[in-house]
Amino acid sequence: MSGNAGAPTALTRWTGNLLLQAAVFCIFISGWEGAVRFFGIPKIVLPPPSQIAVAMWESVRSGDLQWHLAVTMYEIMAGFVIGAVGGLVLGFIIALSPLMERIFYPYVIAFQTIPKVAIAPIIVIWFGYGVASKIVITATIAFFPLLANTIMGLRAAPYDQVEMMVSYTATRWQVFRMVRLLQALPYIFVGLDVAIVLSVIGAIVGEFVGAKAGLGYLILQKNFNFDMAGTFAILIILSVIGVGLHAVIVVAQRRIVFWMDTTGDRVTGA
């Protein structure tokens, strides 16, 4: 493997980067803590990191956080899966049939131009205050990135590869199975990555409009009570969810689309 020679240096560089990042993080947190205390900033404007940590610990101990986290994660995952599968299926249909493209694509584009946040209230009225409406909102947001990338990906096969296959008497189906499908994978993963991050936003927006549980609902509650430390604690949880889900997609992508070698990121991905 060509990467073997460079691996030790990449690893040392990676550890070095990690140390640097940790140092920057510590300086940032202590600077924040110090500034809040020194300037006497009221905690309903900006809570110090220590209070955020305490707020987070209390939510965990009361079991509050776990429950709302579970609800939101369920909405994110269910909405993501439904939207992504829908986008993939319609993407395949449109990419493979020019007739279907003429019939469906104008509506898809028209639908995409509507901000999903704007239709969230309608969806809550249609599907209620429970998880169903959040799943629907998340699904409508996760749908388009998969649709667009699947269509693009299935058309991305280089012409010379198709020509090569045809010259060896490959049928349309063989060209699709042996070339087009695999050429589409990198695009589909870009779609999945965008969709999973948007799904977090979708679930929270849904909960903001009207909900009985979930992290978005919890943020609104804490805000009403001027519990800024608690709000910040949830924001941190949300960003951890986003980064974590993104990382899952990236790791899966490196495993499955292994031939698209993104050098440099290799070590962090393993």
Partner 1 sequence: MPSLRASILPLPSATVAAHGDGTCLVRIAALQKTYKTKDGNVIEALKDINLDVRASEFIGIVGPSGCGKTTLLKILAGILDRSAGEVVMAGESLDGPSRELGVVFQAPVLLPWRTVLQNVMVPVEVQKRDRAVFEKRARHLLAMAGLSGFEGKYPSELSGGMQQRVGICRALVHDPSFLLMDEPFGALDAMTRETMNGELQRIWSESRKTILLVTHSIAEAVYLADRVVVMTPRPGRIVDVVTVDLPRPRTLAMQNTPEFGRFVAAIRRHFHSEGSLDT
- Interface ranges with partner 1 (CB under 8 A): 1-2, 160-161, 163-170, 174, 178-179, 182, 258-259, 261
Q: Could you tell me the smallest distance in angstroms from the CB atom of residue 267 to partner 1?
A: 18
Q: Could you tell me the smallest distance in angstroms from the CB atom of residue 252 to partner 1?
A: 15
Q: Could you tell me the smallest distance in angstroms from the CB atom of residue 178 to partner 1?
A: 7
Helix H, strand E, coil C: the string for the chain is CCCCCCHHHHHHHHHHHHHHHHHHHHHHHHHHHHHHHHHCCCCCCCCCHHHHHHHHHHHHHHCHHHHHHHHHHHHHHHHHHHHHHHHHHHHHHHHHCHHHHHHHHHHHHHHHHCCHHHHHHHHHHHHCCCHHHHHHHHHHHHHHHHHHHHHHHHCCCCHHHHHHHHHCCCCHHHHHHHHHHHHHHHHHHHHHHHHHHHHHHHHHHHHHHCCCCCHHHHHHHHHHCCCHHHHHHHHHHHHHHHHHHHHHHHHHHHHHCCCCCCCCCHHHHC
User: Which is nearer to partner 1, 37 or 255 (by Cβ)?
Assistant: 255
Q: Could you tell me the smallest distance in angstroms from the CB atom of residue 257 to partner 1?
A: 8
Q: Could you tell me the smallest distance in angstroms from the CB atom of residue 243 to partner 1?
A: 29
Number of other residues whose CB lies within 10 A of the CB of residue 53 = 16
User: Which is nearer to partner 1, 49 or 186 (by Cβ)?
Assistant: 186
User: Which is nearer to partner 1, 118 or 270 (by Cβ)?
Assistant: 270
User: Which is nearer to partner 1, 2 or 113 (by Cβ)?
Assistant: 2
Q: Could you tell me the smallest distance in angstroms from the CB atom of residue 260 to partner 1?
A: 8
